[in-house]
Amino acid sequence: MVMKTLGKGIVTNIEVAGALCAILADIWVLAASLKGMPISTSQSITEGVLGIGLAYVALGKMSIHEIN
């Protein structure tokens, strides 16, 4: 639910990248949890979506103006 909401509002065309973002966020949350670090799953997925958007901009697949 969080991914669907964030994907619609921040970055367009994020269906495939959204799946990758969710998997990477899961790995990050697991690693931080195993180390005993405090972690926010919502913040992890939000930053992942923004990171995917910035990567798309860097690769020329979208304009910086498409990130809301």
| pLDDT tens digits for range 6-58 | 555 555 555 677 777 778 888 889 999 999 999 888 888 888 777 777 888 88
Question: What is the three-class DSSP state of 12?
Answer: coil
Phi, psi of 60 (to 5 degrees): 80, 15
What's residue 25's pLDDT? 84
Is residue 63 classed as helix, strand or coil in its secondary structure? Answer: coil
- pTM value is 0.57
